Each structure stands twice: as structure tokens, then as C-alpha cells.
Amino acid sequence: MARGIVLSAEALLALIAAHPEGVGSDRLRAALPGVSQATLSRRLRELREAGRIQAEGQGPVRRFRAVPVVVPEAEEVVPLSPEARALRAYLRQPVAARVPVGFRRELLEGYRPNRDFLIPAPLREKLARLGHTEGTRPAGTYAREILDRLLVDLSWASSRLEGNTYTLLDTRRLIEEGTRAEGRSAEEALMILSHKRAIELLVDQADKLGFSAMLVRNLHACLAEGLVADPAAAGALRTGAVYIERSAYLPPQLPQMVEEMFALFLARASAITDPFEQSFFALVHMPYLQPFADVNKRTARLAANIPLIRDNLCPLSFVDVTERDYVDAVLGVYERLDTSILRDLYEWAYERSSARYRAVRDSLGRPDPFRVRYRQELARAVKAVVLGEAADAQQAVTIADPGGALPPPDRERLGALIETELSALHEGNFARFGLTPGQFLAWRKQQGRAP
């Protein structure tokens, strides 16, 4: 520090807080060249009198430590380990009191898939028990069975973590009926619908899911469409600098490094065999790298569901997670390379998600396997009839299966199912086939049915 530069109490506090084991005045002097002993002593005295640091020992062994910020127990929703509590105390300080840090590539480069683990073995085993579903079935079967509920839950919860003010009921009406909530912005509705589209992408591509550049970039494109200033930025790696609001962390700025680290992230993630380690790895590294100009955390939350959907495990919906807890968890990774809060949050949120979807699954009873298997073709066919692209169910089957890959008995059964769905189509269920209110009302009028 050049002579004449003022040493603020906040700057000194940040330096002390960076040494949770305690730091002596000699080390502080070495880190602050040009600052006089009198100035340093005065600032230390001010911080002690304010109760922001404490001193231990005397003479040469005297050490200073930052006093943790006390968070009232009433605020605590997620049970935290002592390690996570200490991290949270550091993060609850003002940004000016936290040490500025940059991207540390060794966090990713030093990780050895299936040898190093962000989630310890006992917790991985617990999560596997919680998320287990019955039988050996094609990839994505479980997610399709609870899809209607998952679309609403995950779209709402992930959007809420970004400050979206839609309620869960508002979200259900928007997704199931296409009805926007009064007094809410168009951007909020678009954010929720973009989540719905991205989740459908994951479920429809379940048998092909993996951490490929194509899938992750298209997942981002679904989530970012209409919500980023530059349309070309949707699905594209960033080429400019980004800054994190309310954080002392500076992500990598050079496009070459972003591209290199993104490729390494995909390679490391793809090599992980445990689905929960793979899921958590995405939650840690995608926000930390910030590969896209915006919408990184949303992409990470959905990408964390890739291995869970693929392996027919209960998905992670984040329904009961608060924005404050999630921000603390991510900041811990950003600023301290510490995953303790995020790990505790992941465990707690997954316990609640698995219980939630077991109850949903039990309430639904056994779904028709045929309907689950051909959900995508059925939706495409019903929509084709409503839009006038097919005159009847049989033509709709041809549109849904243009290559004629379905066995004849399945084509016949699909045609009968299309007719059943068309006869049961009403204002409360048309949105699940990708129809807009205008399209549904026009078709209903054409059918001579009262609006």
C-alpha cells in the first residue's frame, strides 16, 4: 500500500477475516506496507471497541480474529453443520468487509472424478435411499409420471430464487391454463414458461441425457430466451466480462479461459458415475465458472436434475429453499471455495423433494405405461388436430410418427387415445398440449361448442 493511502476499518476487518485461525500484528504490518504502526493500532482498537474483532494472547503471540456475525436461530431454516455456520457468519458481513477473490482454476483442474468427492459416501448413500424409485424402467419414466407436478414445482421454485413474485398457484394457472397473474410483469411469466420448456427438454431427452455441450447450451437457450438483452447470447458462451452483484468474487474474464474451463467442466462432469455427485458437481461449478452472460444459476439448478431424471431418481425441485439460504450457499463457493452450506442445503432440499414426490406418486396411482411412453407423440398429435394440421386422429398419428417407426398395434392404440383426449379437451387442460388460449378457443368455436 503506497504511503498516504488511508487504511479503513472495513479493509482491515476483511484482512483479519481472511485468517479465521487468527493473525498477528506483524503479519498485518507485512500485508500493509506503508501503513504506520500508529494507524494500524488505532484501527485495531476501533474494531475491538466496536466488537468486530477479538484479541487473544499477549506480546509476540497476540492474535486477532474477526467476531462471527450472529444469525438468530429463528432465521435458520436449513440445519447447518458448524463448518457451514462459520462460513455463513463470514458471508453475512458487508461486501466491503469480505476479501476480494478471483477465479481459481485449480478447483476444477484438481478434481479427479470418482476419486475425489464433493459429497461424502455416507451422504451419497442416504440420498440414494431417499431418491430410489421402484423397478428398472426406461430413462425418465419416473419424471414423466410426475411431470405435471414437476413442471409447476421446479418452474416456480427456481424462478422464485431469482426474485420472481409469482405464487405457486399463479404458476400452476400459468402453466396449466395459460393464464397470466394480474399485477405481474410479462418478464416474470416468461421466466416461468422458459423453465417449463427447459424441463420438458430434459424429460423428453431423458434417454440421451448427459453433460454434453449441446444439451447444456440448449438448456441455457430455453431458460434465457427473451430474457437476455442479446438474443444471440442464449445458448452461447460469453465473450465479455461479468460481475456478481453483492459478492467479492470476480469470475474469469477472458473468453479463452471461459471456453477452456467449460470444456473441462463437461469432461469432468461426464466422467462422474454417481448421480448425486454429478448433480452436486453441476450446482457447484456452473455458477462458479459463469460460462454464460446471464442465467447461469438457473441453468445449474436444472442441470443438477440431469442425472436424477436419467436414472429415475426423485428430482430436486428446490421448493422450500429460501433465496437467502441459496445465495449464502453460492457465495460460499464463490468467495471461499467452500461447499459446506451448499452441501447442507442440497441434503435438506433433497429430503423434502423426495418426500414430496413420493406423496405425489402415491396419490396418482399406477399410470398407464403406454401413455407415459408415448406422451410426446400424443401431445404432438392432439396439437396437430387443434391447429388444423390433421383432419382426424389417424392423420395425427402420421404427423406424430412421420417415419412410421411405431408398431401397427401401437399406432392403432395411439389413435384411439388421441380421440379420447380430444373429446376431453377443455379450458382447464389445453395448455398441457402446448396450445395457447387463442388456439384452443378458435378450435372450440370451429367445433361449434360454446366458449
Q: What is the DSSP string of 44-85?
A: HHHHHHTTSEEEESSGGG-EEEEPPPPPPGGG--S---HHHH
Q: Given a cut of 60, is residue 366 above it in pLDDT?
A: no
Categorize the per-residue pLDDT at 5 as very low, low, confident or very high, splitting at 50, 70 and 90. very low
Rounded mean pLDDT of the chain? 87
**Mean pLDDT (whole number) for 297-322:** 94
Q: Tell me the pLDDT band of 40, cut-offs 50, 70 and 90.
A: confident
Are 306 and 279 within 8 A, CB to CB?
yes
- Which 3 state secondary structure label does DSSP give 367? coil
The yes-or-no verdict on residue 26 having pLDDT over 60 is: yes
For position 86, what pLDDT does the model report?
A: 92
Cβ-based neighbours of 21, under 8 Å, separated by 6 or more: none
**pTM for this structure?**
0.70
| 256 CA to centre of own chain | 25
3-state helix, strand, coil in the chain (%, to 5): 60, 5, 35
Asked if the model's pLDDT at residue 289 lies above 60, the reply is yes
Whether 272 shows a pLDDT value over 70: the answer reads: yes
Rounded to an integer, the average pLDDT of 342-370 is 81
pLDDT in tens, 178-188: 899 999 999 99
Alpha carbon distance 328, 131 (integer Å): 25
Tell me the mean pLDDT in the region 218-239. Answer: 93
pLDDT > 50? residue 1? no
Q: Is residue 48 pLDDT above 50, yes or no?
A: yes
pLDDT at residue number 136: 64
The answer to whether 180 and 189 have CB atoms below 8 angstroms apart is: yes
What pLDDT band is residue 284 in, cutting at 50, 70 and 90?
very high
Average pLDDT rounded to a whole number, residues 356-380: 73
More confident: 200 or 404: 200
| Residue 38: partners with Cβ closer than 8 Å, 6 or more residues away | none
% the chain with pLDDT above 90: 50
Of 373, 365, 421, 370, residue with least CA distance to 393: 421
Q: How far apart are CA 294 and CA 230, in angstroms?
A: 11
b (16+ CB within 10 A) / e for 108-117: beebebeeeb
User: Which stretch, 32-36, 112-116, 128-132, has highest mean pLDDT?
Assistant: 112-116
CB atoms within 10 A of CB 79: 11
How many helices (H) and strands (E) are present in the chain, helices listed first? 22, 4
Q: Which pLDDT band, with edges at 50, 70 and 90, does 216 fall under?
A: very high
> Could you give the percent of the chain with pLDDT greater than 70?
93
**124/116 Cα distance (integer angstroms):** 13
Class of 100-364 per CATH? mainly alpha
Q: What is the pLDDT of residue 238?
A: 96
Residue 72, pLDDT score? 54
Q: What is the pLDDT of residue 263?
A: 98
Residues 9-66, CATH architecture: Orthogonal Bundle (1.10)
- Write down the pLDDT at residue 76: 65
pLDDT tens string 156-198: 999 999 999 999 889 999 998 889 999 999 999 999 999 999 9
Residues 6+ apart with CB under 8 A from 403: none
Q: Poorest-confidence range of 105-109, 298-302, 320-324, 370-374? A: 370-374
DSSP letters spanning 386-417:
HTTS-SSHHHHHHHHSTT--S-HHHHHHHHHH
Higher pLDDT, 415 or 5: 415
Query: Left, alpha or beta for 55 (phi > 0: left; psi -120 to 50: alpha)?
Result: beta
Of the candidate ranges 285-299, 304-318, 403-417, the one whose mean pLDDT is the lowest: 403-417
